[in-house]
Structure 1
Amino acid sequence: MGRPAWLVALTQQGEKPPYMLKVRSSNGFIIGTVALAVFTDLFLYGVIVPVIPFALQTRSHIEASKVQYWVSVLIAIYGASLLAFSPVCGWLADRSSSRRSPLLMGLVALLGSTVMLNVSSQIGVWVVARILQGCSAAVVWVVGLALLADTVPQENLAQAMGYVSLAMSLGILVAPMLGGIVFDRAGYNAVFAMAYALVGLDIVLRLLLIEKKVAARWDPGAAGRVRATTDDVFPPRTPAIDGSAPPTSDGKQERLAFSTSSSDLEKNVIKGPDPVSAGPTIPDEPVRRPMRDRLPPFLSLLYSRRLLSALFGSVIQATLFTSFDSVLTIRAASIFNWTSTGAALLFLPLVIPTFLAPLFGWFSDRFGARYPTALGFFLACPPLVCLRYVEHNTIEDKVTLCALLALIGLALAMTFPPLMAEISEIVESKEKKMLTNGEPGYGKSGAYAQAYALFNVAFAAGTMIGPLLAGFVVQEKGWRTMAWVLGLFSGFTGIPMFLWMGGWVFETS
């Protein structure tokens, strides 16, 4: 009896390369797949934002007085789920043999949450759906960014992260607008029809994706990014066939003198190269590792002031960018008497400059992360403070507000790609230092996913802090106070960015 066709196909997979291997494992395809995953996650998060308040009343029959409460609860649940699952996803991803498998599992969670929000009218089911959305977002950001770190060389990583930033901006920009328009014109189910179509495209790309390390089975040139190993730090000194030693650091060779004395022959000793000229050697006895390096990577990485600085920058960047979610629409309605549609258009000048993120990533790859991040936070300070002068319903104030928002968006766009690329650089630098000291590194899969889990936690914390901070300050002290508070946050953050991004600024080596 012959073998089933599916079993034959699986058997032949190791013999015959997959169809379009080079394209499916190329940097461009992997970057595009991760960028689409980020766009899908943010689109499905944002497309229902203008729909939920109406659906709560018409489908769940929530009283009008409790709609605001449940909207806030559902937003908070998403953020809490994102924070809770990010460390878990990072830990599991670094122990998984594949990055693609967790990405597919995250997509299953996202599809499940979408179906639950679509077909159910029970508020308890919506709560579970938002938890699944937060879990899916954790997988996309943690595993997706780790996959990019595995794929793209460090010198080009910031530019690749710029495309992820661009996808994030597109999702934030188009999702609420399309959700509101489609809901008004075609109804509730039509909104989710867009979501299903996007998820279907995402499924296809994630199934087609082939990781570099998998492609290397058929194409050795597609090995992807190579992490440091012990042999990189301590190159093996293999004697030449003619009995000569490898060249030393000054370019000379030493002969391996085979002793002919009776004492040496009895001991069967071969005299090797002079230990002084032989370069670094691995200690015979294992070096006692510091306590911080014996902790899980998720915790030991936090001992790095450079990483803490990058995480702090991520928190403030997200705080500043999302602070307008809770105050800008209300401010425009109270001063300019605009409707919700007109007020929503104010987010365009804030988001459109972020389309330049790939360019800023390219600049960071060429000149380092220190200058674009520090400069971005410093440049965002003046327009944030100047928001306090938008007070009257005049054409001048409307133009001024749009111009200030565009400058703020442009400045913050400079910070996002280098901050994400810096996380990978820190992990690589720390692992090389550990290997140099004779300590084990982070294992076979490294710690990229756990490092990006920390980044995801920081960014998620900022998205929760921003709306609450801006809303509280406006309510208690007014718009003018909020403007200089946000400006002060931005200006202060530029200082640690300049001091620690890319390493301690006064480091001589």
Structure 2
Amino acid sequence: MASGAELPAGYKWRSSQTLIVSTACFALLTEVLLYGFVVPILPYMLEVRLHQHPSQTQRLTTELLSIHGFSTVISAPILAHFIDKTPSRRTPLLLSLVVTLGGTALVALTPSYWALVLGRVLQGITGAAVWIICLAVLVESSGAGNMGKMMGLSMSIVMTGTIGGPVIAGSALELMGYWPTWYLPMGFLAVDIIVWLGLIEPQVALESDKALVRDEQPEHHGASLTEEIHSVNSPLLSPIIKTDSKDDQCQEVLPPANFYYIMLTDVRVLVSLGSVVMTSAITAGFNATLPVHLRDIFEWGPLDVGTMFLILRLPGIILGPLSGWLRDIVGLRYPTMIGWVILAPLLVLMGIPGNGLLWAGAEGYGKPIFVSAIVGIGAALPLIQGSGILHIMIILEELESKQHNVFGAHGGRSRAFGMNEVAFNLGLMVGPLSGLLSEKIGFDHMSMILACISIAVGLACGRFFTAGLQPTDDEATV
């Protein structure tokens, strides 16, 4: 076909859904890997490269990990605002990946402590951008009725990165040495950048098509080519812009409404964000409490504790897509509510070993009770994880369907994911406080408090979450 020769070389596979989704997943996995990648290397960096006294390692490690989360919380809403102002996903993502690569190189070089802090700040800011954009791409590519499965896939990726980052870094440092260890994440980032450079954005292909249609006189031929390119490229990478299908006349565009005021005054959004905060806080609290608790009651060392974390997170990798499929079939409200309610007794069960009961001690049934509780918690978490942002997306679609361009020409998805990122990182910052709570009142009483909070969040989700992923007007009204 004559016109086909004038299209960008390889535009079909370079703009295919499979390639774009796979690349977005790989970029998301790289960002999650980077978050925990530095953890097992930090003692070496601080004590050997920066010559800090070992007594300062714990304090400096806590500071550097907290700086990453704080940078994300502050930057995510700002980044999301500007991402929503641009029609391109590719350009801001490429910029974020390049800066992430620079920040990672700065962390690896470790010329000074403050340079290390700057590198972590850059990783936190650009990591938030990568997270927001990649999740937006995945949701936009999912299509109607598949949002749950796509979000389940993304949660599996997050779990894989969470587990894989420290494991890969620790193993590589011991087996290969310092610099070969850092070549791994920097290589991942380089691959991300190269692939994204080769992708063709939908609007680029559509502009080429318009030029071809103007040159081609047969209207039918031009129209079929337009449909072909649109089917290959849309709605990936670019936000879905709603238009009036009743006529082709331009309709009056009202000034964009205040996104955060409208969303944060909706009780459904607040419940969704609360679910995100609590999910993140509970999982982060395990990091702060389990190592010390298991050492005290079972005298378990790092290997045993690491195995418990693997058992906790492995079900999320396996069951994440399955829970997403379940949400697509039966709706969002009931799986989320059931997940939170099931979590409550499992948290109580987790706190029984070591609470003074002889039959639940190290020599009794304490170990099987604890392992069983961890397995159950790991299986229940996939029903909860990702439900908050899914519900926010449902509310956003509802508002945008009622008023054309209510949040601007490019929609408000990036800002929605920005709110989710802030809530998630707030949970990461609040969660470790459970370590102080466990120290003051005991691990078993802390577990009971978390169980009560889980029931409260579950009831709130059952009350305010919409029943399905495609809400009707009645379901969307509270």
- What TM bracket, shorter-length normalisation? 0.7 to 0.9
Residue equivalent to 2:337: 374
Confirm or deny: 8 A CA contact 1:151 1:212 kept in the other structure.
no
Q: 1:56 aligns with which of 46, 50, 54?
A: 46
The letter of the residue matching 2:21 is I
Within a 5 Å distance, the mapping from 1:293-332 to structure 2 comes to 294-295=257-258, 297-332=259-294
Q: 2:442 aligns with which of 478, 482, 494?
A: 478
Residue equivalent to 2:466: 502
Question: Do the aligned partners of residues 163 and 184 (structure 1) sit closer, same or farther apart at CA in structure 2, a change above 3 Å counting?
Answer: same
Q: 2:373 aligns with which of 387, 393, 404?
A: 404
The letter of the residue matching 1:119 is L
In 1, Cα distance between equivalents of 2:12 and 2:330: 31
Q: 2:7 aligns with which of 13, 16, 19?
A: 16
Q: 1:222 aligns with which of 232, 255, 271?
A: 232
Q: 2:137 aligns with which of 147, 156, 160?
A: 147
Question: Do the aligned partners of residues 505 and 467 (structure 1) sit closer, same or farther apart at CA in structure 2, a change above 3 Å counting?
Answer: farther
Confirm or deny: 8 A CA contact 1:152 1:224 kept in the other structure.
no
Q: Secondary structure at the match of 2:8?
A: coil
In 2, Cα distance between equivalents of 1:381 and 1:146: 32
In 2, Cα distance between equivalents of 1:106 and 1:66: 32
Residue equivalent to 2:414: 449
In 2, Cα distance between equivalents of 1:25 and 1:339: 49
Residue equivalent to 1:364: 327
Offset of residue 51 of structure 1: 1.3
Residue equivalent to 2:304: 342
Confirm or deny: 8 A CA contact 1:373 1:419 kept in the other structure.
no
Q: How many residues align?
A: 440
The letter of the residue matching 2:321 is P
In 1, Cα distance between equivalents of 2:267 and 2:202: 32
**Residue deviations 1:117-155, cap 9 Å, x none?**
111241000100110110121111111122223332242
In 1, Cα distance between equivalents of 2:417 and 2:111: 35
Which range moved further: 82-91 or 334-343? 334-343
Q: 2:244 aligns with which of 209, 231, 242?
A: 231
In 1, Cα distance between equivalents of 2:248 and 2:119: 58
Q: Secondary structure at the match of 1:97?
A: coil
Question: Do the aligned partners of residues 61 and 307 (structure 1) sit closer, same or farther apart at CA in structure 2, a change above 3 Å counting?
Answer: same
The letter of the residue matching 1:135 is I
Unaligned 5+ residue runs, structure 1? 1-11, 239-281
Q: Secondary structure at the match of 1:62?
A: coil
**Larger radius of gyration, structure 1 or 2?**
1
Q: Secondary structure at the match of 2:73?
A: helix
**Residue deviations 1:270-321, cap 9 Å, x none?**
xxxxxxxxxxxx9xx999x9xxx742x2332212222222111111111112
Q: Secondary structure at the match of 1:346?
A: helix
Residue equivalent to 2:348: 385
Offset of residue 347 of structure 1: 0.4
In 1, Cα distance between equivalents of 2:4 and 2:60: 50
Confirm or deny: 8 A CA contact 2:241 2:411 kept in the other structure.
no
Confirm or deny: 8 A CA contact 2:202 2:230 kept in the other structure.
no
Q: 2:430 aligns with which of 447, 465, 470?
A: 465
In 2, Cα distance between equivalents of 1:13 and 1:331: 65
The letter of the residue matching 1:196 is M
Within a 5 Å distance, the mapping from 1:276-295 to structure 2 comes to 294-295=257-258
Confirm or deny: 8 A CA contact 2:17 2:233 kept in the other structure.
no
Residue equivalent to 1:420: 389
The letter of the residue matching 2:234 is G
Confirm or deny: 8 A CA contact 2:13 2:19 kept in the other structure.
yes
Which range moved further: 165-174 or 45-54? 45-54
Q: Secondary structure at the match of 2:431?
A: helix
**Residue deviations 1:95-125, cap 9 Å, x none?**
1121011111111121111111111241000
Question: Do the aligned partners of residues 316 and 90 (structure 1) sit closer, same or farther apart at CA in structure 2, a change above 3 Å counting?
Answer: same
Offset of residue 14 of structure 1: 10
Q: Secondary structure at the match of 1:373?
A: helix
Offset of residue 339 of structure 1: 2.0
Residue equivalent to 1:248: none
In 2, Cα distance between equivalents of 1:209 and 1:336: 53
- TM-score, normalization by structure 1: 0.80
Offset of residue 501 of structure 1: 1.5
The letter of the residue matching 1:101 is T
In 2, Cα distance between equivalents of 1:154 and 1:395: 52
**Residue deviations 1:409-429, cap 9 Å, x none?**
211111224333222222111
In 2, Cα distance between equivalents of 1:189 and 1:492: 48
In 2, Cα distance between equivalents of 1:13 and 1:401: 63
Residue equivalent to 1:264: none
Question: Do the aligned partners of residues 496 and 123 (structure 1) sit closer, same or farther apart at CA in structure 2, a change above 3 Å counting?
Answer: same
The letter of the residue matching 1:224 is S
**Residue deviations 1:179-202, cap 9 Å, x none?**
222222332223212222222222
**Residue deviations 1:9-68, cap 9 Å, x none?**
xxx99932341x333333332222222112111212212101102321111121222221
| Aligned sequence identity (%) | 28
Structure 1 stretches of 4+ moved >6 Å: 503-506
Q: Secondary structure at the match of 1:502?
A: coil
Offset of residue 216 of structure 1: 4.3
Q: Secondary structure at the match of 2:6?
A: coil
The letter of the residue matching 2:398 is S
Q: Secondary structure at the match of 1:445?
A: coil
Confirm or deny: 8 A CA contact 2:349 2:370 kept in the other structure.
no
In 1, Cα distance between equivalents of 2:233 and 2:334: 32
Confirm or deny: 8 A CA contact 1:228 1:432 kept in the other structure.
no
Matched, 1:186 2:176: yes
In 1, Cα distance between equivalents of 2:147 and 2:98: 28
| Greater helix share, structure number | 2
In 1, Cα distance between equivalents of 2:248 and 2:33: 55
Q: Secondary structure at the match of 1:94?
A: helix
Offset of residue 478 of structure 1: 1.1
In 1, Cα distance between equivalents of 2:393 and 2:138: 10
The letter of the residue matching 2:400 is E
The letter of the residue matching 2:53 is E
Residue equivalent to 1:245: none
